[in-house]
Structure 1
Amino acid sequence: MNELMTTLEVNGSLIGYLAIDMAVAILLLGGIRYAMGVLGKVNTADELAQKDNFAYGISMAGGVAAMGIALSGAITGELAGSYEIELIGMLAYGLAGLILIKAGRYIHDKFALASFDKQALIIDRNIAVALVDAASVIATAIVVRAAIMWVEGLNVDTFIALVAVWVVSQVMLVVITRLFEWKYAKNNGMPFQTALVNNHIALGIRYSGYLISTAMSVTAASYFIIFDVDSLWMGLMQWVVISIILMVLLTILTSIAKFLVLWGINRREEVEDQQNIGIATIELATSFSIALLLMALMS
């Protein structure tokens, strides 16, 4: 505590940057609820407090967490050079992050899980779908944060790079969804999305782990590439190739880790047949841990 007070006394401008960053962050975080209400044509207060709709709360919590993750990549502090630049940067990157997160949610709904009406199911208190919705926006935010930290400057090329990385991440998330669906249908003889509609919470938790860990592996690819406007597309191609390699590596390592952590347990039967939420949560934690370790190793 004393060290913190000394730092603030020596560098008083730090307080100014902190105030700017926190003010913008809280403003945008607060805007998540109202954006969800307006876009979904839902009375958020009614869903959260009157109807006690836990599914809607989980979905909104995912959006709030996603916004916080994306904003954490926009904070530069004194590196910005002035309060004005920091304010503009936070607002620009924050709004860009909000748009990309909302767009990512749309892509996931229309291309990854297109066989049901997500909003209607969440309003109908479907916890499994709400968990998946929250995981999808968090996954998008993880990649957006990495992209914001990767790019430099504040110009048209910067935002082109952000959108391009976002596109890469959405393709990866759709691909991992198709693979997950294929494996589930092969083992159970029924569509994965049907199971979600039937509120299969354990399966939703497992799938959420896949989404978030995949996003983290895509993020790890940024550590190998230096941002250069003049060779932007080459850098993005490298990002795609490295992301695919890391996704394969993540899949192998996660499979080994799950086998060892849950030794002697039939994971397919426990999660898919018996809807064992505990086992599914352990799988999610294992996927997250391996992805985190992989990111740390690559950074």
Structure 2
Amino acid sequence: MNTLLENIGLNADLLIYLAIDISIAILLLGFMKFISGISAQVNATDELSKEDNFAFGISVAGSVAALGIVLTGAITGENAESYAMEAIGMLSYGLLGLILIKIGRVIHDRLALNQINKTEQIKARNVTVGIVDAAGAIATAIIIRAVLLWVHGLDASTFIAIVSGFVVSQAMLVLVTRIKEKQYAKNNQRDSMQEAFANGQDALAIRYAGQVISTALAVTAASYFLVYSPDTLFETLVGWFVFSILMTLLVALLTAIAKRLILWGINLVEEVDQQHNIGVASVEMAISISIALILTALMA
């Protein structure tokens, strides 16, 4: 018993740091729901409960999960010099992550999926677009988390590195979206993938979610090849972008091989693109994310 009390006494500071981090995390997660409502120009509580808008709920869930992922990057396991510095660091990274997630959503809307109005589609209860929106937010958060773990310290160079890494992530997500659009058009008589999202093709959205999240994990894996240094930040970020492309191509190749083996005898274009088979699309998503996770673990 005495040993237990001694251990508790020795770890009193750790418990206080934990309480600070958890309190700020819960506060920020609640704030994310509020911000989501403002972005969609609706009352979040009414939209979720009274209106029963499933698309909005999925979108908010993606945003909340995204912020949670970012916050795991802010919590490094190393305590700050004081309680105040711990709170400032956690709040700063959390707010920056929240802002970047929202900016990423705007970029995704304007550049990646520029042919549809995601906000209007979600307000109109389009679950497909809700899935796509949530996937984009989570993919962005995975890369922001990777940058937070990559950098160290709390100064101007750190924030420049985080924002720069965010730019790299958005460039990769837009690039992958364009490639997938071309593949969809090639396999479906020049039809538009974005129009298919607007028409409510859930299976296609589930597959797309797997593709963008696996891309984010590939970009994360690329960070393991580079060491953060404020003095060579530009060169390092260019290297990260190049490695991100290489890792994304590798993940795509391995995923294609895995899909052929695991889904042998199934025509994926026919099942997902034309018959809207959610089951097959879910397996595709799981394969994409699994391959990316395995490769990321190997690189780490």
2:275 aligns with: 274
Instruction: Tell me if the contact between 1:18 and 1:77 (Cα under 8 Å) persists in the aligned partners.
Output: no
Please state if 1:176 is matched with 2:143: no
Residues 1:8 and 1:288: Cα distance change in structure 2 (over 3 Å): farther
How far did residue 4 of structure 1 move?
9.7
Question: How does 1:26-175 map onto structure 2 within 5 Å?
Answer: 26-175=26-175
81-90 or 124-133: bigger deviation: 81-90
C-alpha displacement at 1:40, in angstroms? Answer: 2.1
Q: Which residue identity lines up with residue 171 of structure 1 in the other structure?
A: A
For 1:292, the aligned partner's letter is L
Counterpart amino acid of residue 271 in structure 2: E
Q: Secondary structure at the match of 1:73?
A: helix
Note if contact 1:109-1:118 (Cα within 8 Å) is conserved in structure 2: yes
Q: CA deviation at 1:194?
A: 0.7
1:90–1:192 distance in 2 versus 1, CA, 3 Å: same
Deviation of 1:108 (Å): 0.2
Aligned letter for 1:175? L
User: Aligned-pair distance for 1:184?
Assistant: 0.4
Relative to structure 1, is the Cα distance of residues 248 and 197 closer, same or farther in structure 2, using a 3 angstrom cutoff?
Answer: same
Say whether 1:292 aligns with 2:293.
yes
Does the 8 A contact of 1:225 with 1:235 survive in 2?
yes
Tell me the equivalent position of 2:229.
Answer: 228
The whole-number CA distance in structure 1 between the counterparts of 2:195 and 2:7 is 56
Partner SS for 1:50: coil
Query: Are the equivalent residues in 1 in contact too, given 2:56–2:123 (CA < 8 A)?
Result: yes
Check 1:256–1:83 CA distance in 2 against 1; reply closer, same or farther (3 A cut).
Answer: same
> Which residue in 1 is equivalent to 2:25?
25
Whole-Å separation in 1 of the counterparts to 2:284 and 2:135: 14
Deviations 1:161-184 (A, max 9, x none): 111110001000000000000010
Distance change (3 Å), C-alpha of 1:4 and 1:163: farther
| Cα deviation digits, residues 239-277 of structure 1 (max 9, x gap) | 011111101100100000111111111111110111000
What SS does the corresponding residue of 2:261 show, helix, strand or coil? helix
2:194 matched to which residue of 1? 193
Deviation at 1:8, TM superposition (A): 4.2
Partner of 1:209: 210
The normalised TM-score by structure 1 is 0.96
Structure 1 unaligned blocks of 5 or more: none
Separation in structure 1 between the aligned mates of residue 38 and residue 5 of structure 2, nearest angstrom: 42
Is the Cα–Cα contact under 8 Å of residues 66 and 101 in structure 1 kept in the other structure? yes
Which structure 2 residues correspond to residues 230-249 of structure 1 after superposition, within 5 A?
Answer: 230-249=231-250
TM-score by length of 2: 0.96
RMSD (CA atoms): 1.5
Distance in 2 of aligned mates of 1:259 and 1:8: 54
Alpha-carbon distance between aligned partners in 2 of 1:96 and 1:78, rounded to the nearest angstrom: 20
- Which stretch shifts more, 39-48 or 184-193? 39-48
1:28 Cα shift? 0.4
Does structure 2 retain, via aligned residues, the 8 Å contact 1:14–1:77? no
Q: CA deviation at 1:282?
A: 0.4
Q: Please say if residues 254 and 291 of structure 2, whose CA atoms lie closer than 8 Å, have aligned partners that are also in contact.
A: yes
Residue type at the aligned position of 2:236: G
Rounded to whole Å, the distance in 2 between the matches of 1:29 and 1:244 is 32
How far apart in 1 are the matches of 2:6 and 2:299? 34
Q: Distance in 2 between matches of 1:4 and 1:63?
A: 40
